[in-house]
């Protein structure tokens, strides 16, 4: 699951990509910390969405509230000048299991 679309939400344009949590233990503290740390490198506003729940991808605490388990699909949404790079970079983290093996 890896698709990309443009979504208009309120007045922002979000670039989105669907990804899947492939880590055996889900999006637990270590990958969540890595995700937040990597998201903070970008100036864009970055959100993660699971169902109707959206959280700030730059906050480990927000990410952990998703309780995303193995196999969970979610959307990476980014808005800003480096949105495309942010979405690609974060999607790569999911594909590579956050380098957890």
Query: Is 28 a residue of the active site?
Result: yes
3-state secondary structure 6-74: EEEECCEEEEEEEEECCCCCCCCHHHHHHHHHHHCCCCCEEEEEECCEEEECCCHHHHHCCCCCCCCEE
**H or E segment to which residue 85 belongs:** helix 83-95
Among the listed residues 16, 27, 28, 68, the single catalytic one is 28
Tell me how far apart the alpha carbons of residues 51 and 36 are, in angstroms, rounded to a whole number: 20
Q: Which residues are catalytic?
A: 28
């Amino acid at each position: 699951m890896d698709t990309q679309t443009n979504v208009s939400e309120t007045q922002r344009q979000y670039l989105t990509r669907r990804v899947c949590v492939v880590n055996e233990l889900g999006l637990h503290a270590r990958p969540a910390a890595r995700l937040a740390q990597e998201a903070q490198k970008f100036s864009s506003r970055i959100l993660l969405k699971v169902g109707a729940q959206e959280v700030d991808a730059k906050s480990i605490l927000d990410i952990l509230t998703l309780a995303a388990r193995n196999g969970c699909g979610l959307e990476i949404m980014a808005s800003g000048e480096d949105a495309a790079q942010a979405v690609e970079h974060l999607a790569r983290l999911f594909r590579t299991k956050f380098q957890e093996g």
